């Protein structure tokens, strides 16, 4: 019955195609469905994009090509994450029957555009704490980001008109899949659906105007997130032991391993959930290693025309150019 349904769907789609398109479509779907049926635990990589004014969601196939569908509501991935592994598999199978998506001709969006909570962790690598001349805390230093600061892979990070101290921070993101409170550390990774990359762009002079870091961490257009949401099964447990590298104009600025995290992903989930209920789609931005621009002599900040790349082994490269804010420009809320 499943094969009959697939055949009926392909027959309907092919009526709208030219001969060469039909051959390509049939070959792709045949191989994709055989691959998917044969390997139900296949890891998944999702991207959110915008093309010709329409938002969409795509998944990578076994060759690395992306296939997607219109997602104008931009909620399919969040819903699938909340639905668990089977819902993500169903979503991926549906997307694989969509149209080919060339990432080079589309604009990337954050994988999750409006997380319920963006919980960031400061001072979570000992070398970064040391370069900041701060005593290492024995409890995670938490602060919040707002979704209004988020941008996707390839979008410009904006240096604000009020400051030139725009700094880079390459970080691993953990995405919550199953919510809860008082989550034991031994079960914490069962609550993580997958991972991504974050550039926690920071306006340093505003960050340190008060003991609370909120304003300096939340300027519009400074929180780069992406390029993809990668399911947890594609990586080592807790995304441990992955190489992380930040490059500014091709020069390595930060280099570390995620195994150097003082509070690893499981520990963070457990400690945060002591007081805060975590929900599916919440994200934890786990902290940055040493090498930030503010700690250099003299300080080295991002400026218009620069390109910043964050690469994490197994997750890809998050790449963003830097532009200058147009002074006095206003942006209407959607």
The region, left, alpha or beta by phi > 0 then psi within -120 to 50, assigned to residue 37 is alpha
Q: Digits of tens for pLDDT over the chain (334 positions)?
A: 443 344 444 444 444 445 544 444 444 444 444 444 344 456 799 999 999 999 999 999 999 999 999 876 568 999 999 999 999 999 999 999 999 999 999 999 999 999 999 999 999 999 999 999 899 999 999 999 999 999 999 999 999 999 999 999 999 999 999 999 999 999 999 999 999 999 999 999 999 999 999 999 999 999 999 999 999 999 999 999 999 999 999 999 999 999 999 999 999 999 999 999 999 999 999 999 999 999 999 999 999 999 999 999 999 999 999 999 997 665 655 5
pLDDT, residue 75, reads 84
Radius of gyration of the chain (CA): 21
b or e along 307-319 (b: 16 or more beta carbons within 10 Å of the residue's beta carbon)?
ebbbbbeebbebb
Q: What is the largest CA-CA distance in the chain?
A: 68
pLDDT, residue 330, reads 59
What gap in Å lies between CA 199 and CA 308, rounded to an integer?
Answer: 9
């Amino acid at each position: 019955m499943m094969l009959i349904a697939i055949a009926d769907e392909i027959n309907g789609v092919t009526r709208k195609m030219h001969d060469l398109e039909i051959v390509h479509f049939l070959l792709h779907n045949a191989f994709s469905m055989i691959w998917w049926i044969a390997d139900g635990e296949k890891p998944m990589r999702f991207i959110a994009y915008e093309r010709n004014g329409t938002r969409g969601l795509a998944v990578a196939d076994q060759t690395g090509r992306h296939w997607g569908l219109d997602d104008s509501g931009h909620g399919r991935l969040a819903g699938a994450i909340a639905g668990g592994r089977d819902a993500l598999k169903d979503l991926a199978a549906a997307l694989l029957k969509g149209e080919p998506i060339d990432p080079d001709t589309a604009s990337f969006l954050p994988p999750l555009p409006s997380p319920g909570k963006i919980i960031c962790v400061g001072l979570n690598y000992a070398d970064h704490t040391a370069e900041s001349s701060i005593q290492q805390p024995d409890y995670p230093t938490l602060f919040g980001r707002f979704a209004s600061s988020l941008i996707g892979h390839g979008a410009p990070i904006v240096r604000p008109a009020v400051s030139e101290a725009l700094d880079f921070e390459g970080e691993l993101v953990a995405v919550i899949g199953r919510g809860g409170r008082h989550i034991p550390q031994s079960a914490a990774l069962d609550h993580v659906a997958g991972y991504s990359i974050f550039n926690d762009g920071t306006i340093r002079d505003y960050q340190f105007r008060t003991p609370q870091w909120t304003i300096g961490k939340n300027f519009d257009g400074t929180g780069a997130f992406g390029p993809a949401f990668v399911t947890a099964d594609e990586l080592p447990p807790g995304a441990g032991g992955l190489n992380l590298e930040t490059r500014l104009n091709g020069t390595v600025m930060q280099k570390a391993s995620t195994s150097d995290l003082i509070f690893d992903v499981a520990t963070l989930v457990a400690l945060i959930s002591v007081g805060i209920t975590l929900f599916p789609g919440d994200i934890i931005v786990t902290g940055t290693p040493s090498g930030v621009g503010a700690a250099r002599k003299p300080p080295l900040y991002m400026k218009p025309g620069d390109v910043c790349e964050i690469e994490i082994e197994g997750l890809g490269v998050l790449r963003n150019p830097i532009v200058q804010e147009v002074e006095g420009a206003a942006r209407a809320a959607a």
